[in-house]
Amino acid sequence: MSGGKHARPKGTRDWMPEDATARRRVEQAFRHTAAVFGFQEIITPTFEHTEIFIKSSGEGSDVVTKEMYSFEDRAGRNLTLRPEGTPGVVRAVLEERMKPPLRLYYHGPYFRYGRPQKGRLREFHQLGVEVIGERNPAVDVEVIQLGAWFFERLGIADCATQLNSIGCRECRPAYRAELVAFLSGRVAALCEDCRTRLERNPMRVLDCKRETCRLQFAEAPKPAGHLCPSCAEHFARVRAELDRRGLRYELNDRLVRGLDYYNRTTFEYLSARIGAQDSIGGGGRYDYLFEEFGGPSLPAVGFALGLERTMMAMAENPAPARRRLAFLVCVTEAQRPAAVDLLARLRADGVAAQMSYEDKPGRQFKAADAARAACCVVLGPDEVARGTVSLKDLVTGEQTEIPANIVIPEVRALFRD
């Protein structure tokens, strides 16, 4: 087949049937894990008013300044394809007057105009949870644990959790001033992005991945060393609860997360399979976001995981060579009516079944192979006369004649996984 003349937009991907199947499995594992932790699904729109993303990410953030897909609709409204999940959920909780405490999960497509690279697409997918209205540090740990269980369920064994605390409105200003004083003496050594961040949001500087910048940070004051007594206590209780639940973690005193709205607990999940500097996802507390949105003061904590990155971190699952699909083959057109009946019986019983309407049996076998069917059910004049069918296992090539009335259990027996 030729490649055609149209290409998909840069930063997007196609999900081939095998990829789509693998993706649905991951989503299913996520839904299941969230459900056993007491979370309920929420689905919000793919686009929102631009202002909610500016409000949540912060005017000077990379997301807002460089990465949003914003547009005016035909009535002149300023809209944006959602670059992340939390702002839409917060907006919906307030708009729908949902009653906290709430445990919500979501998954779906998100959009950022970033530099496409491995595991980072412009249309990407996230799996997220939010706990709204609970202040206890144990809740931060429940959220961290949910993520850890999800990765475990997917067989991602090498996942490491990194943890930090970035303080609150009381303790952050003094810390920020100290950090700015420290960094101002080293501006010449910082990259251009860091210089901009230094003016707009100095804590984000610590997030820079450039080696030259990171060298400068070794001596920099760290947020966890400047916590007020109540933030320090919260952080200590988070660590104690992680220990009590046997959850392993590492402290990373530079972990500040890319978004402005986090406070206190921040965490990330890392996997060696996708590179040391990059996380599969992460989250933290955001106790001020509801107020920023004009709502009541509501503590909240959550995470968002990258679906594509999660799949990169998974051990390669060899795709099953054959699908759970039975392919009917008619030796001559005279068997077609019997085959149509059998097709309906199989399908009514929940067995995926299909046939090709080519008249030559050779072509029908070829179609069965192209569909990667597990087996063929062959109907010839002799079989129909005897009340039998021939069942061909397409994995082993073995063919046996069986009574037509036991074809459903026999086909099922050939569906190995």
Residues making up the annotated binding site are 84-86, 112, 126, 130, 257, 261-262
Contact flag: residue 331 with Zn ion (CB under 5 A):
no
Nearer to Zn ion, 96 or 192 (CB): 192
* C-beta of residue 309 within 8 angstroms of C-beta of residue 349: no
Using alpha carbons only, how large is the chain's radius of gyration in Å?
A: 28
DSSP element (H, E) containing 168: none
Helix (H) / strand (E) containing 103: strand 102-111
- Under the criterion CB under 5 A, does residue 63 sit at the interface with Zn ion? no
**Strand partners of residue 163:** 251, 267
Q: Which of 19, 51, 158, 170 binds Zn ion (CB under 5 A)?
A: 170
Asked if 238 interacts with Zn ion (CB under 5 A), we say no
Residue whose CB is less far from Zn ion, 216 or 364:
216
- Check if the beta carbon of residue 34 is closer than 8 Å to that of residue 105: yes
Contacting range for Zn ion; rule: CB under 5 A; set: 29-37, 92-100, 171-179, 218-226? 171-179
Euclidean distance between CA atoms 286 and 308, whole angstroms:
25
Nearest to 227 by CA among 163, 170, 179: 170
Q: Is 168 in the site for Zn ion (CB under 5 A)?
A: yes
Q: Which among 22, 19, 6, 23 has a CA at the least distance from the CA of 109? A: 23
Strands 250-251 and 160-165: parallel
Closer Cβ to Zn ion, 125 or 264, answer by number:
264
With contacts defined by CB under 5 A, name the span among 77-85, 122-130, 191-199, 404-412 that binds Zn ion. Answer: 191-199
Which CB atom, from 46 or from 230, has the smaller least distance to Zn ion?
230
Region binding Zn ion by CB under 5 A among candidate stretches 165-173, 216-224, 303-311, 356-364: 165-173
375 near Zn ion, rule: CB under 5 A:
no
- Of residues 202 through 231, those in contact with Zn ion by CB under 5 A are 208, 210, 213, 228, 231
Phi, psi for residue 354 in degrees, rounded to 5:
-155, 155
Select 193 or 393, whichever has its Cβ closest to Zn ion. 193
- CA-nearest of 174, 88, 137, 165 to 299 is 137
**Residue ranges with strand state E in 93-168:** 102-111, 123-132, 160-165
CA distance 322 to 112: 36
Residue placing its CB nearer to Zn ion in the complex, 85 or 221: 221
299 binds Zn ion (CB under 5 A): no
Task: Specify binding-site residues for L-histidine.
Answer: 84-86, 112, 126, 130, 257, 261-262
Q: Given the rule CB under 5 A, which residues bind Zn ion? A: 167-168, 170-171, 191, 194, 208, 210, 213, 228, 231
